[in-house]
Structures are given as structure tokens and as C-alpha cells.
Amino acid sequence: MDSIMWHYEKLGSFSVSSGYKFDCNEGSNPGSSALSGDVSWWKFLWRMKIPLKVKIFVWRACENWIPTRTNLLLRKVPSDSICPCCDQKAETTMHALWCCPLLRPIREVCGFTKDCWGDDNSMFLDFMIYCRRQLVQEEMDLICQILWRGWYNRNRGVHDAAKMCNKEVVPCARAFQEEYLLANHALNAEVSDRRGNGPIWQPPYKGTYKINTDAALSVGDGIVGVGIIIRDYVGNVIASSAQAVQYGCCVLIAEALAIKKCLLLARHVGLELGFIESDAQVAVNLINNPDIPYSEVGLIIKDIKSLLEEFSDFVN
Ligand SMILES: [Zn+2]
């Protein structure tokens, strides 16, 4: 019996992405095609509220650039194509990330993907485009986190490192996504309020930015944790940094250094600061005092004062 082969795809079966490429190459208008989803897919992917490393991973997977056994073989890396997890089937990208029988606990927990189509030989890009049509934004964000975490877990297993049970992948990915959203999408103020952890964050004037700094001392190991965060007037996090530094001095110096670091960062990215807020009350008092102490911290305060001349306001 004859069978129909789709010669725009290596495996001979039709896929949405190859169909789209064919559609464009044939000179038809991609905008009018029902298959033009992959152009908007890339835009969609880069705008997702997920960590950059996850976006880059999904992008590489969509381009079939992740080192599955099948891809290694295609690139002439000595390997066999059999999946190192189930030891049953060829490890294509779809198999490694979604279809491997060992990933069943992940697929089962992801009830929202039950209508998402795809098998071992599907193009991963097609699968993602299909998912995007079926799922809401939050589900898409989560599924990308899950795919990244599943692949990370697979790699740990391949390299004989401790790996988590696949049942734990979804809760872990969900927790990471929630943590990411908390850190990056201005829920900080609300959370602070709900938990009663200190004052509610107040925004600066429209068009300006606000810096918060904090330094905390871990007495036992002589380490100072320095945190800084810059937000715009609607609360979006523009930049943040957290560092653990060995201190041979005192918390006051660490706090002053945190403020100086903030100002350097703000100057570097050209922000117009409306406010700087710091829990470091002693450091703030020193900065607001016209007399500069003759000490190590005094040198830092002097630097801060000259940096502040470049900004309009300083409010503690
Ligand atoms: Zn497998």
C-alpha cells in the first residue's frame, strides 16, 4: 500500500512548523495562514514571565538543539539513540521532555495538558504551539518551568547525580515559578503587608525610581548579607542584587557599601531616582549629617555624598 510522505520533514510526517516553512517558501502570505502561529510563538515566548534560563532552554528545545541521544547521534557524537531513562525508545526531544513513559507522573499531575497533542516523533515546536492554543498564560508559564526542571532532572540522572522523583518535578517547578513571580513582578509590597513584615512599600513619584537596601549580619560565620532592589513607580523590579560578603569590619560599613552600590548601579543604568530607602538608619544619619566621620566608614560616606549630588532627592 502507498503512503504519503511529507518531504519537508526528515521523518516524512507532516508537522505544523514544516508546513509553515513550506507555506512561506511557496510565497503565500504567512499572515493569512492558519499555520502562522510560530511567528507569534517566538514573540510570546520572549515575553513570558519565566526566568531567562527557562526561555533559552525552551527556545533551544524548539530548535531541536538540546543534547538528546538522537540529536547527539545526528551530530556524529558517539552515542546510541535509546533513552537513558526508560531504555525503551529513541530519545527525541519530544520523548525526552514529554513522552518518555517515566515522565508519566509529570503528565498526570499536569491535568491541564490532557488535550495537548504530541508523540515521540512530533516536533517539539509544534507541541509548544499547540499547547499555547490550549492553555492559559499561567499554565504555559508553568509548563515551561516543568519542562526545564524535568530536563534538569534527566541530566542529573544521566550524570549519576542525585535526582528527584518525577512526582516531585511539578510541585518543585510550581514553587520556583511562584518564587520567580514574587521576586520579579512587584508582589513584594503586598506580601510584606500580608505577612506583617515591616512597612508597606510606598511608590516614588511617577517617572522616578526607588531603591531599597538592607544589610544583615550573620554573627556566627562573620558574613554580611547585602540586598538591594530598584523599583519603578508602579512597583516593577528594575534591578536587584543580593550578596553575601565576608566582613572584617562591622555592619555599618556593609550597610554604607550597600547604599553606595545602589547609587553606582542607578548611575550605571541612568535611572532618575526619586527616593532611596534604607533600613540602615545609622548609615542614613551619617549621610544626612554635614560632618563626615574621620574613619573607614567616613570614606564610604564621602563617596555616597558625591554620588548623591548627581541625583535630585535623598529620603531615608
Ligand atoms: Zn524514555
The CB-based long-range contact list for 33-40 (8 Å cut-off, 24+ gap) reads 37/129, 37/132, 37/133, 38/125, 38/129
Regions of the chain where pLDDT drops below 50: 1-16, 18-37, 186-196, 314-316
Residue 68 alpha carbon to ligand 1 centre in Å:
11
Residue-level pLDDT at 183 = 72
Residue 106 alpha carbon to ligand 1 centre in Å:
13
Identify the residue whose cell numbers are 505577612.
195
Structural domain boundaries, residue 251: 203-308
Domain membership flag for residue 268: yes
Residue 119 alpha carbon to ligand 1 centre in Å:
12
Do 169 and 253 sit in the same domain of this protein?
Answer: no
Do 77 and 207 sit in the same domain of this protein?
Answer: no
| Domain boundary residue, one of 118, 151, 184 | 184
Beta bridge partners of 8: none
Do 109 and 145 sit in the same domain of this protein?
Answer: yes
Identify the residue whose cell numbers are 498564560.
137
Residue 89 alpha carbon to ligand 1 centre in Å:
6
Residue 92 alpha carbon to ligand 1 centre in Å:
9
Q: What is the pTM of this model?
A: 0.51
Domain membership flag for residue 51: yes
The number of folded domains in the chain is: 2
d(CA 195, CA 25): 57
Do 152 and 297 sit in the same domain of this protein?
Answer: no
Do 29 and 146 sit in the same domain of this protein?
Answer: yes
Do 34 and 102 sit in the same domain of this protein?
Answer: yes
Residue-level pLDDT at 275 = 64
Residue-level pLDDT at 32 = 31
Domain membership flag for residue 189: no
Residue-level pLDDT at 274 = 62
**Non-local CB neighbours of 45 within 8 Å, separated by 6+ positions:** 55, 58, 59, 62, 128
253: CATH: 3.30.420.10
Residue-level pLDDT at 245 = 60
Do 129 and 77 sit in the same domain of this protein?
Answer: yes
Do 144 and 41 sit in the same domain of this protein?
Answer: yes
Domain membership flag for residue 313: no
Residue 154 alpha carbon to ligand 1 centre in Å:
10
Mind listing the pLDDT tens digit for each residue in 264-289?
A: 877 777 776 666 666 667 777 788 88
Residue 210 alpha carbon to ligand 1 centre in Å:
49
| Domain boundary residue, one of 124, 149, 184 | 184
Asked if 270 contacts 206 with a C-beta cutoff of 8 angstroms, the reply is: no
Residue-level pLDDT at 167 = 86
Asked if 230 contacts 203 with a C-beta cutoff of 8 angstroms, the reply is: no
d(CA 118, CA 68): 17
Domain membership flag for residue 11: no
Domain membership flag for residue 5: no
d(CA 119, CA 12): 15
Closest CA to 116 of 136, 102, 101, 93: 136
Residue-level pLDDT at 253 = 76
Residue 152 alpha carbon to ligand 1 centre in Å:
15
Do 224 and 302 sit in the same domain of this protein?
Answer: yes
Q: How would you class 181 by CB atoms within 10 Å of its CB: exposed for 0-12, middle for 13-18, buried for 19 or more?
A: middle
Residue 93 alpha carbon to ligand 1 centre in Å:
10
